[in-house]
């Protein structure tokens, strides 16, 4: 087999991950019953529902201030979740995530994703080194260039670190529809393992070009803002859940919205954020049971916007 050193290291990383981090190498459900998706560049499986940290993990150092989000993280792992997405842009979120993972001995059960968000090689290296310290890890599962800021500079560093085994996967992110063309142009010319983009019933533009392109190029897709930052609930709060939600095992609007996202064939996982354990458990429920077909996806979109 003609395998590059990078690919070989990635597979080794996956094997090491499988031994230490509960990784799955097939698209069958994890023991938790959560749906799994394969990362195209490695074949490693990830649960289709992850957890974002923007705002929700940006809390103080006191036990009382952290109790709520600590319970959310514990419930997430207990439900079988793995992908935890942070960024140095999210205030204290990386530090809080690192402290809580250490406190609850969760490092080996979490797929740690963070970002670099600065300009210049030295500043990027410094910021990423800070992320290792804040997250209290010696290897980061996924390091992404946040909003494509100085993307070529950071990708060069990240490729070296990937070769060296300090990061397992490399990606780029954006959170606006306006940013999606630049993400598409990047994956047309560069090999990255992941993109992270906005997609929901309220923001469907990625269906036109970026999601099919990611699928063609073998790039994993993490979906941020699956509830459009929570805006979708403002419209849905007053509306009763349609009876047909039961046909795809949904008991809430949140589950319908998340199943819409993860049923797109290009999507690897969605990363809803929540500060509440009840919402976390609700969201994880979207990773179980039946998924909508094309007709049902249209029905969800028509009802929800
Ligand atoms: N790369 C980027 O530039 C970028 C940009 C934006 C976001 N992101 C990532 O994507 C993650 C998710 O995006 P987001 O935080 O902007 O928005 P989101 O996940 O679309 O929405 C979060 C909002 O939904 C509410 N919510 C969550 N679960 C719910 C449920 N089951 N029922 C009712 N309400 C629920 C939350 O409130 P409660 O706390 O009350 O549950 C919160 O207000 C971020 O945390 C971050 O990790 C990345």
Greatest CA span in the chain, whole angstroms? 57
d(CA 245, CA 215): 28
Residue 181 near residue 153 (C-beta atoms within 8 A): no
CB 196 less than 6 A from any atom of ligand 1: yes
pLDDT tens for the chain, 305 residues: list them: 333 444 443 433 333 333 333 344 445 566 688 999 999 999 999 999 999 999 999 999 899 999 999 999 999 999 999 999 999 999 999 999 999 999 999 999 999 999 999 999 999 999 999 999 999 999 999 999 999 999 999 999 999 999 999 999 999 999 999 999 999 999 999 999 999 999 999 999 999 999 999 999 999 999 999 999 999 999 898 899 999 999 999 999 999 999 999 999 999 999 999 999 999 999 999 999 999 999 999 999 999 88
d(CA 76, CA 47): 11
Cα-to-centroid distance, 3 and ligand 1 (Å) = 39
H or E stretch including 81?
none
Cα-to-centroid distance, 258 and ligand 1 (Å) = 11
Ligand 1, atom 23, lies closest to the CA of 230
d(CA 207, CA 293): 15
Closest listed residue to residue 72, CA positions, set 44, 35, 108, 110:
110
CB 229 less than 6 A from any atom of ligand 1: yes
Ligand 1 test: best mutation among 259, 272, 287, most atoms within 8 Å of CB?
272
Give the pTM. Answer: 0.92
């Amino acid at each position: 087999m003609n395998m590059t050193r990078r690919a070989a290291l990635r597979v080794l990383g996956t094997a090491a991950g499988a031994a230490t981090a509960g990784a799955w190498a097939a698209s069958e459900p994890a023991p938790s019953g959560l749906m799994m998706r394969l990362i195209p560049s490695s074949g490693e499986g990830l649960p289709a529902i992850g957890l974002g940290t923007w705002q929700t993990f940006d809390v103080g150092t006191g036990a009382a201030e952290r109790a709520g989000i600590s319970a959310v993280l514990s419930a997430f792992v207990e439900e079988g979740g793995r992908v935890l997405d942070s960024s140095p842009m999210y205030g204290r979120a990386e530090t809080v995530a690192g402290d809580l993972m250490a406190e609850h001995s969760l490092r080996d059960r979490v797929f740690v994703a963070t970002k670099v968000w600065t300009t210049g090689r030295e500043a990027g290296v410094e910021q990423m080194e800070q992320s290792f310290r804040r997250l209290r890890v010696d290897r980061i599962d996924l390091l992404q260039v946040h909003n494509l800021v100085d993307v070529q500079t950071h990708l060069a560093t990240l490729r070296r670190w990937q070769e060296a085994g300090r990061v397992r996967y490399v990606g780029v992110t954006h959170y606006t529809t306006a940013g999606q063309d630049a993400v598409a142009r990047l994956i047309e010319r560069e090999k990255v393992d992941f993109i992270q983009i906005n997609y929901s019933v309220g923001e469907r533009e990625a269906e036109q070009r970026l999601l099919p392109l990611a699928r063609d190029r073998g790039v994993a897709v993490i979906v941020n803002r699956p509830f459009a930052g929570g805006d979708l609930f403002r419209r849905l709060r007053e509306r009763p859940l349609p009876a047909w939600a039961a046909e795809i095992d949904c008991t809430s609007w949140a589950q319908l919205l998340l199943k819409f996202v993860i049923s797109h064939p290009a999507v690897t996982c969605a990363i809803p954020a929540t500060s509440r354990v009840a919402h976390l458990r609700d969201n994880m429920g979207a990773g179980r049971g039946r998924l909508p077909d094309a007709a049902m996806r249209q029905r969800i979109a028509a009802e929800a916007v």
